[in-house]
Structure 1
Amino acid sequence: YHRADGGVGTANYWLVIPMVFCENRNVEVLKSALLKALGYQTTRDYVVDTEALVKQYKNGATAKELLDSSLIRTPEEIKQNRTFPNVDGIKFLTHEGGCGGFRLDSESLCSLLAGYVTNPNVAGATILSLGCQNAEVRNLTEGIKQRDPNFSKPLYILEQQKSASERHFIEEAVKKTFLGLIEANKTERSPAPLNHLVLGLECGGSDGFSGISANPALGYASDLLVALGATTMLSEFPELNGVEQELINRCVSEPVAHKFAHLMNTYSATAVALGSAFANNPSPGNIKDGLITDAMKSAGAAKKGGTSPITEVLDYTEKTTKKGLNLLCTPGNDVESTTGLAGSGCNIIAFTTGLGTPTGNPVAPVLKISSNNALSEKMKDIIDFNTGTIITGEDTIETMGAALLDYIIEVASGKKIPAAVRLGQDDFIPWKRGISL
């Protein structure tokens, strides 16, 4: 999906975003009003078309005719029967921020939301504002302008405190969203070179195999993409603790290296000041499966970034501007990290796991990569790609990395739908910069 700013989306979504948690209830009203009516309310790979029975019954169908009816609709039929077949979905980004707490958190939230609105996978957005919150609309629009000075996507901003009533507010939001969807539906998927991919590199629920199968295979795929002129993005700074020097040595310039060191040191010092530390990052599941220390976990996690030079280091919510391998400062928390990756411009995310996790993202397709055969069999409903054959000796990191790249391209091209997308796993948690590990 080619955008006016030169970006290319791997999907085509419309967003409904509250500026503050006070608007979450109104977002839920919009959700119930729009999804089913427009053909998006399903988290399965098929739907049962009960309405077809109702229509036949009203038209006088016999019992035999009702029993002979076909009610199951395939994914392709579901898409074609949508009011807007070129729009992959309407995503609702409810959150618990926008007011109270530190002003910095509200400003950071606005910057993150601006990143989502300008993400190439997004066609446009409806913004619901109460009117008096810390997360001011002007901060959002300024953030959008900074990322895209010639921003031209449909954007509807509604303020409840200026509306005649809640009913009028909801009615206007539904109407404007519908108009936006008409425009979004005019954009169709068309070919694009691989250098338009911005691949997020994520891991979660890691095990003792992650660092020797899934992560290095993803790192090899990342290196191939970088060689083809694309962008890849490695996040989760607490999980880079212990491998800083190796990453600093790969930075293309001293300013890039200094920025990475500064962000790592500042984050670490904040954690210590609040009574924690990067050493506390490994979860009980990590430890039980062999990742006893943060250094051991980091040594494996960093392999997702392959061996490419690091061209850019980004603070949380900063937009990627340089091709090649980027580092993005986020927590190790899976959802906070994937939320940040999409906010910085990723149009697809590859997520390795050894223990299994159902994490997804509202706008960037998240494909799950298993580090071992047992997980791939046990949780086949959420795993998309298995690298366990590296452990059993049937594949090498190189052969599996090349196969993984092929799979990533198929997902980006809309030929395969990851489990997280099919199951509606739209996790969205903004990072409150106080501290999160």
Structure 2
Amino acid sequence: MDRVLKVHPKDNLLVALTDLFKGEIIIYENEKITLLDDVKAKHKFLTTDLNIGEELLMYGVLVGKAQIDLKAGNIINTNNVRHAANPFEVGERKLAWDRPDVSKWKNTTFNGFHRADGSVGTANYWLVIPMVFCENRNLEVLQEALVTPLGYGRKKAYQNQALKLIDLYKSGADKNSILNADIFIEEQPEKSKRLFPNVDGIKFLNHDGGCGGTRDDAQALCALLAGYITNPNCAGATVLSLGCQNAQVPILEEEIKKRDANFSKPLYILDQQKVGTEADLLALAIKQTFAGLMEANQQERKPAPLSNITIGLECGGSDGFSGISANPAIGYTSDLLVALGGKVILAEFPELCGVEQNISDRCVTIEEANRFSSLMKTYAAKAVAAGSGFDMNPSPGNIKDGLITDAIKSAGAAKKGGTSPVVAILDYPEMVTKPGLNLLCTPGNDVESTTAEVGSGANVVLFTTGLGTPTGNPITPVIKIASNTTLFNKMSDIMDVNTGTIIDDGETIYEAGERILDYVIKVASGEIEVSAVRHGQDDFIPWKRGVSL
């Protein structure tokens, strides 16, 4: 295993692949560098002397400037380096890309749920949606009424642990006995007891929006909800409206039509102020939902070409290895799917800071490049006006594990998008329509961004992480990809794929990317249940277009 890595020939930083220590001599490309500091794995150190104000380069781009005079062998950290990124402008188109050989998958299909609009779902869920937060309690009642009786309840391992402690307490156990008690209960998964075996679940999109706020917030919420209803993983929906909120039912219906002019999925919309009593509303909702589930259960998985897969690309809890293992690996998966005629969504605009020129140059038209520039600059200006900025994007966890500036984080995060041209720039929460790589304006917040990608049409999400996060989605499988083997082993219950093999075992980016595509096909076919689905991790947070990094 190599001990250090230079990501790009222009870089004046090396990445430590393992812990290094002050006084060690590092030999790289026939140059000797004596380390002046301890350098933990994932962190970076200088290969050249820098005076105050001089530039640090990584991934071949500007990622920071020295705040003090530095020497070759110094570690970089938030005390001696500050964020910096190059400006960008709309220039000439650079659309050549490393199109991969996809002959291996030429005749490969996945088994999915075919919808009337020609899309294909990787899952088959029924949605229950509130138009406004006032209906959230009614959603909770419906959830209690439907989920367990229909066979979608989760195992009660932790409840049984609490019951075990109750028994100990009743038998006279003291505090120390309770703290030292072995309450682990290994439960074998039960065989499916679903009344409707072809329906993967009933999902409830609780949220805190729909009224108050601005009318733009209400419009965006209706568009997002329409995106979930028209997503190929949705079989149909029950919608609860109070009646007087800003997020009106006609707005939702208009947004559904924008996405599917011939919409024909079962859709039941109930207005509480028209129906009357809570009891009448809930009885009607239960009957209509049950009838919808009967219809949804008639759907069965059938073969479909891989071009019907739409992948959302996401990262969260990133570390210093994310940009050299997991992110470029799914970037190659992205290129493979694009070459196969599929759709890919790259989001998180605050995490494209410093690589805007590359993204802009890859836009297929000047119009798309101008739209990207406008959205990016407007977002950045709003962040500054709110007393923040993209430079404040890295979290304490990011910084602790080697992502010192936003430009370092962004340059690694952008690797998720591979090398293919950008066919469209989408503003939240627009729907993806064009095959190829699409850019969607979202925050860097992983749950808000994942929520948005699914609302735009993603039927699978590839989510890379270096620190570990359980993030999932109500209707779309979120595949968790670890950037390092330590994380994959330590949090094995929420991780699905390990790309630490790139660091440890010499697996290439291309080999890992192909391995991930094969995994995606199995997930899309229902052959593999990912960790987030198994745990019922149904994260759903609409973005209110405020400054969220």
The TM-score normalised by the length of structure 1 is 0.92
* 1:200 equivalenced with 2:312 (yes/no): yes
* 1:266 equivalenced with 2:378 (yes/no): yes
Instruction: Give me the whole-angstrom Cα distance separating, in 2, the residues matched to 1:43 and 1:380.
Output: 19
Deviations 1:124-181 (A, max 9, x none): 0000000000000010000001100000000000011112310010000000000000
1:342 matched residue in structure 2 = 454
Instruction: Give me the whole-angstrom Cα distance separating, in 2, the residues matched to 1:208 and 1:348.
Output: 25
1:364 aligned to which of 472, 476, 483: 476
2:505 aligned to which of 385, 393, 404: 393
- The alignment yields a C-alpha RMSD, in angstroms, of 1.6
1:392 Cα deviation after fit: 1.2
1:319 aligned to which of 431, 455, 458: 431
- Structure 1: which amino acid aligns with 2:124? N
Between 201-210 and 35-44, the greater mean CA deviation after superposition = 35-44
Instruction: Give me the whole-angstrom Cα distance separating, in 2, the residues matched to 1:219 and 1:22.
Output: 41
Instruction: Give me the whole-angstrom Cα distance separating, in 2, the residues matched to 1:43 and 1:4.
Output: 35
1:403 aligned to which of 511, 515, 523: 515
1:42 aligned to which of 154, 164, 185: 154
Instruction: Give me the whole-angstrom Cα distance separating, in 2, the residues matched to 1:295 and 1:278.
Output: 9
2:132 matched residue in structure 1 = 20
SS of 1:96's partner is coil
2:263 matched residue in structure 1 = 151
Instruction: Give me the whole-angstrom Cα distance separating, in 2, the residues matched to 1:317 and 1:2.
Output: 24
Deviations 1:99-145 (A, max 9, x none): 00111111100000000000000000000000000000010000001
SS of 2:319's partner is coil
2:366 aligned to which of 248, 254, 258: 254
1:188 Cα deviation after fit: 0.5
Deviations 1:273-327 (A, max 9, x none): 1111111110000011110111000000000000011111110010001000010
2:344 matched residue in structure 1 = 232
Deviations 1:17-56 (A, max 9, x none): 00000000000000000000100011689x99xxxxxxxx
- Structure 1: which amino acid aligns with 2:145? A
SS of 1:112's partner is helix
2:524 aligned to which of 398, 412, 427: 412
- Structure 2: which amino acid aligns with 1:353? T
SS of 1:296's partner is helix
The TM-score normalised by the length of structure 2 is 0.74
Highest CA radius of gyration, 1 or 2?
A: 2
Instruction: Give me the whole-angstrom Cα distance separating, in 2, the residues matched to 1:409 and 1:44.
Output: 31
Alignment of structure 1 residues 1-400 onto 2, 5 Å: 1-42=113-154, 74=189, 77-78=191-192, 81-400=193-512
Instruction: Give me the whole-angstrom Cα distance separating, in 1, the residues matched to 2:188 and 2:297.
Output: 22
Give unpaired runs (5+ residues) of structure 2: 1-112, 161-186
Deviations 1:379-418 (A, max 9, x none): 0000000000100133111111111110111111111010
Instruction: Give me the whole-angstrom Cα distance separating, in 1, the residues matched to 2:155 and 2:368.
Output: 42
Instruction: Give me the whole-angstrom Cα distance separating, in 2, the residues matched to 1:307 and 1:431.
Output: 28
SS of 1:328's partner is strand
SS of 2:302's partner is coil
Distance 1:223 1:43, change over 3 A: farther
Instruction: Give me the whole-angstrom Cα distance separating, in 2, the residues matched to 1:90 and 1:401.
Output: 32
**Structure number with higher strand proportion:** 2
2:541 aligned to which of 417, 426, 429: 429
Between 211-220 and 155-164, the greater mean CA deviation after superposition = 155-164
- Structure 1: which amino acid aligns with 2:150? L
SS of 1:313's partner is strand
Instruction: Give me the whole-angstrom Cα distance separating, in 2, the residues matched to 1:181 and 1:280.
Output: 46
- Structure 2: which amino acid aligns with 1:221? T
**Structure number with higher helix proportion:** 1
SS of 2:360's partner is helix
1:63 matched residue in structure 2 = none
4+ runs deviating over 2 angstroms: 72-75
1:74 Cα deviation after fit: 4.2
1:214 Cα deviation after fit: 0.3
Contact map agreement 1:44 1:423 (CA 8 A) in 2: no
Instruction: Give me the whole-angstrom Cα distance separating, in 2, the residues matched to 1:132 and 1:164.
Output: 14
SS of 2:121's partner is coil
Instruction: Give me the whole-angstrom Cα distance separating, in 2, the residues matched to 1:12 and 1:233.
Output: 21
- Residue identity over aligned pairs, in percent, reads 67
Contact map agreement 1:43 1:422 (CA 8 A) in 2: no
1:73 Cα deviation after fit: 6.8
Deviations 1:62-86 (A, max 9, x none): xxxxxxxxxx7746x21xx311000
Give unpaired runs (5+ residues) of structure 1: 49-71
Between 258-267 and 380-389, the greater mean CA deviation after superposition = 258-267
- Structure 1: which amino acid aligns with 2:117? D
- Structure 2: which amino acid aligns with 1:24? N
Deviations 1:204-248 (A, max 9, x none): 000000000000000011101110110111000000011000011
Contact map agreement 1:43 1:424 (CA 8 A) in 2: no
- Structure 1: which amino acid aligns with 2:320? G
Instruction: Give me the whole-angstrom Cα distance separating, in 2, the residues matched to 1:28 and 1:273.
Output: 39
Paired positions, count: 412
2:184 matched residue in structure 1 = none
SS of 2:135's partner is helix
